[in-house]
Amino acid sequence: MKRLLSLFTVLFLLLAFAGSPGILAFAQPRQVNVLIDGLSLDFDVPPFIKEGRTMVPFRAISEALNVPVAWNEKTRTVTASDGNTNIRLRIGDRTAYRNNTPVMLDVPPMIVNSRTFIPVRFFSEAFGCNVEWDGASYTVRITSPKREMTVIGFYALGDSKTSSWTNLFGKPYPEHSNGNTDAISDLALGWYSLDKNGNLLTKSTTGWQRPAGWEDVLKVASLYNLRTEMVIHATDSNGDITGLLSSKEAMEKLANAIANESKLYSGVNLDLEGLGLNKNPEALSQVRQNFTSFVRMLSERLDPSKTLTLTLHAPNSAYKGYDYKALGEIADRIIIMAYDYGTSPEPVNMVLQAVELAKAQVPSHKLILGISIPSENAESMLTKIGIAKRYQLSGIALWRLGLISKDKWEVLRNTVTPVSFHR
């Protein structure tokens, strides 16, 4: 009788709380989240846990890691290769192959809702990723392997606490050591500006200027095999850039001066900011044409051995005065300033949008993701680098040396192998 009463009691409680969202949620399987370099991976069919192993859609994970995949319907086999590592799995078979070496799986590949599911740890680790499971949040955290890419460090003036020299070379000027030079491939030297008459300036009202001892920077950079580009920086707040671009004579004067000065460097980095704000369509079109004309003029005057880099506001910024498609056909590379969106860290959705808009107009091998160091922490910096990896961009550019903390240097070393840019 007591047992019967207990059963009635349990039934009563279940019926009483059947409408409770908490009870229903408890009955549902928990959602599994997958992050690659801090970026959430979206699936049309969600991952699930099978015998203690996380199963994910094969194609979704491979595409996120830029690993080409193939499906053989006849043998019900999936294969993937990045050129160095090859894996092969067959539906229902616990034996997988990595470079033709058999590997036993705890759970075999399976098809669910017309999607092929594989164990995420096996696949990710096979291609050099680090995989961690967070049981509290039901999250798989994947860190992709190091990738070769250009790493540009903006070298500008700072105070004693934010010295670009010390941050890069590890010792107070003029002493130097390897320091952090192993994490950088290129230096963007912010030492120049301009005026509306086409004069190339080594001092400006914005604080960009060539420092005393600048020759030492070039000499020591060469010792550590760092490429150097002279940066010409100006903003249009006082109309200097607009004035310059309205005069063919001034543009020719500046282009010739830059070409002559560039003999000291590996290339030129043009960072002219503030174009196209609040312009009507006709005026905006003219601004874009004028800027493109100047970039073409400068390109034609540079020695063929010198690279031309453009540092541009992101396509989804308020400054629309930059024709990415036309500029991408002229310049060797474009740095997307995907920052200053108003929050810190910079919002991932806006950075992703900026990259996608730029990539729609410029080949990815010409694009470099700009990262604002003051806006990011170590974790968010990993995510921004992850975006550059996922979209197969040429590299990243860091604003600026002098502000990169020890933990951020560590993120760089763990995620990127710096390589110098080659056309």
What is the total count of domains within the chain? 2
Tell me if 322 sits within 8 A of 291, measured CB to CB.
Answer: yes
pLDDT interval class at 160 (50, 70, 90): confident
How far is it, in rounded angstroms, from Cα 78 to Cα 72? Answer: 6
Residue 52: other Cβ atoms inside 10 A? 8
One DSSP character per residue, 320-385 reads ----HHHHHHHSSEEEEE---SSSSSPPHHHHHHHHHHHHTTS-GGGEEEEEEGGG--HHHHHHHH
Domain co-membership, 396 together with 272: yes
Residue 166 has pLDDT above 60, yes or no: yes
CATH of the domain at 219: 3.20.20.80
Domain co-membership, 183 together with 105: no
Query: 87: part of which helix (H) or strand (E)?
Result: strand 86-90
Residue 82 has pLDDT above 80, yes or no: yes
Domain co-membership, 248 together with 278: yes
Domain co-membership, 168 together with 53: no
Predicted local confidence at residue 158, as pLDDT: 87
Predicted local confidence at residue 4, as pLDDT: 44
CATH of the domain at 114: 3.30.457.10
Domain co-membership, 103 together with 203: no
pLDDT digits (tens, 9 = 90+) for 374-396: 999 999 999 999 999 999 999 99
Domain contains 408: yes
Predicted local confidence at residue 27, as pLDDT: 43
Domain co-membership, 108 together with 173: no
Question: Quick one: average pLDDT of 41-49?
Answer: 94
Predicted local confidence at residue 421, as pLDDT: 73
Tell me if 152 sits within 8 A of 169, measured CB to CB.
Answer: no
How far is it, in rounded angstroms, from Cα 394 to Cα 396? Answer: 7
Residue 241 has pLDDT above 50, yes or no: yes
How far is it, in rounded angstroms, from Cα 262 to Cα 307? Answer: 10
Domain co-membership, 328 together with 229: yes
The tokens of 59 are what?
Answer: 């194609």
Predicted local confidence at residue 422, as pLDDT: 65
Work out the burial of residue 94: count CB atoms within 10 Å of its CB; fewer than 13 is exposed, 13-18 middle, 19 or more buried.
middle
3-state secondary structure of 80: strand
Q: State the pTM of this model.
A: 0.91
Backbone φ and ψ for 365, nearest 5 degrees, come out as: -70, -10
Predicted local confidence at residue 293, as pLDDT: 98
- Residue ranges making up the domain that contains 40: 33-143
Torsion angle, CA of 284/195/214/334, rounded to 10 degrees? 10
- Mean pLDDT estimate for the chain: 92
DSSP letter, residue 123: H
Backbone φ and ψ for 400, nearest 5 degrees, come out as: -145, 170
How far is it, in rounded angstroms, from Cα 418 to Cα 186? Answer: 9
Residue 18 has pLDDT above 50, yes or no: no
Question: Quick one: average pLDDT of 339-367?
Answer: 98
252 vs 10: which has the higher pLDDT: 252
Domain co-membership, 101 together with 169: no
pLDDT digits (tens, 9 = 90+) for 196-227: 999 999 988 777 899 999 999 999 999 999 99
Predicted local confidence at residue 7, as pLDDT: 44
User: Minimal CA–CA distance to 395: which of 423, 373, 417?
Assistant: 417
pLDDT interval class at 15 (50, 70, 90): very low
Residue 74: other Cβ atoms inside 10 A? 5
Predicted local confidence at residue 28, as pLDDT: 53
pLDDT digits (tens, 9 = 90+) for 287-327: 999 999 999 999 999 999 999 999 999 999 999 999 999 99
Residue 349: other Cβ atoms inside 10 A? 9
